[in-house]
Structure formats: structure tokens, C-alpha cells
Amino acid sequence: MEPRLAPLIVVSGPSGVGKSTVVDAVLALVPEVWLSVSVTTRPPRVGEVAGRDYHFVDDEQFDRFIEQDELLEWAQFAGNRYGTPRGPVLEHRASGKPVILEIEVAGARQVRSRVPEARLVFLAPPSRPELEARLIGRGTESPAAVAQRLAAAELELAAAPEFDQVIVNTDVGQCAAALVACLHE
């Protein structure tokens, strides 16, 4: 009989919905949870730290990860590629640590096909105007990039029924508590 792996929770939703804020709140409540650090081909934003926020790689390195099946999932989003290193996720789950992935919808779909027992949670905004205000309020992207992310958000919001659970982010504490509950289901 194979040992039971620790839970894998996939948190997804449109850019600006507050995924990072909610996941940070979960980590404060349950420090033993391990948050996977994604790889990306996009350059770091101001204040981001390599290895903490993302592993920043060039296109050639990303291609190698794909060729060697080292990514649990990967997707292209807003002109850049993002992916989840497979090895560390498996290692942490095998050691008994619950794992959270904070990824885009396309990546969540790939995780569903590769790890059927994963719990997929869609974080939704209270409204489209609120999502737009959050994206603009971040001040990290050009108006063109914000427009591109809003267009992508329409497609992502339509995917919510594919997920095991949908949580509307009106209150960070309530969202974090709902995610913590997922760890025990």
C-alpha cells in the first residue's frame, strides 16, 4: 500500500483577484503549508525577489524544463510563460506537507489531468469593476497590460464551474479560512 500524499490545493483566478494576498493569509494561519514557487520568463517586478516570488528564467531554460518533463504544469499568459516545478511539489507532499499552488486557469486544468486528487479552488472577484480597480490600483502594469489582463479575466471567469470550489474574495480572512478548510477535506 502506497503512503497517502499530503493535500494539493490549487488556487486560481484572474489577475488582480487577490490570490497572493489570500494565500499569504493561509500561510500565516497554517505555517506547515508549503507554497510552490513558480518559474517564469517574465522579468521581475519592483520588489520581487528571485526564489521567493518566482524563479526567473530565460526562454531557453524554460524550454529545457518542458523537454525534461520537469514542470507539473505550464502556461503562457500575457506574453510570458509560467510553470510549476514538479519535483519539489512531489517531495513536499510525500513528506506530509500540504502544498498550495497559486496558478492560472490553464495551469489548473493541467494539474487536474496530472494529479486528479488535487483540490481546485477558483478565487473570484466580487465584480468586474472591482477587479479592474484592483488591477489598476496595483500600479505595476501599463494600461495596455491591464486591458490585456481584463480580457483574459473574462475567459478565466467563465472557467469557474470547472473548479471544485469557488470562493468570492470579498474578505481576505474569510477566503483564507475557506482554503484552510480545504486542507482537511
Is the predicted pLDDT of residue 151 greater than 90, yes or no? no
Structural domain containing residue 145? 8-182
- pLDDT, tens digit (0-9, with 9 covering 90-100), for 59-95: 999 999 999 999 999 988 778 999 999 999 999 999 9
More confident residue, 4 or 47: 47
For residue 1, is it within any domain? Answer: no
For residue 2, is it within any domain? Answer: no
Q: Mean pLDDT, to the nearest integer, of 125-144? A: 78
In whole angstroms, give the CA distance from residue 61 to residue 38: 13
pTM of the model: 0.87
pLDDT band for 3, please (50, 70, 90 cuts).
low
CB of 180 closer than 8 Å to CB of 26: yes
Number of folded domains that form the chain: 1
- pLDDT, tens digit (0-9, with 9 covering 90-100), for 101-112: 999 888 999 999
For residue 82, is it within any domain? Answer: yes
Is the predicted pLDDT of residue 100 greater than 80, yes or no? yes
pLDDT band for 147, please (50, 70, 90 cuts).
confident
CATH code assigned at 112? 3.40.50.300
- pLDDT, tens digit (0-9, with 9 covering 90-100), for 10-66: 999 988 888 999 999 999 999 999 999 999 999 998 899 999 999 999 999 999 999
For residue 170, is it within any domain? Answer: yes
For residue 105, is it within any domain? Answer: yes
For residue 3, is it within any domain? Answer: no
Residue 102 confidence (pLDDT): 93
Is the predicted pLDDT of residue 152 greater than 90, yes or no? no
pLDDT band for 150, please (50, 70, 90 cuts).
confident
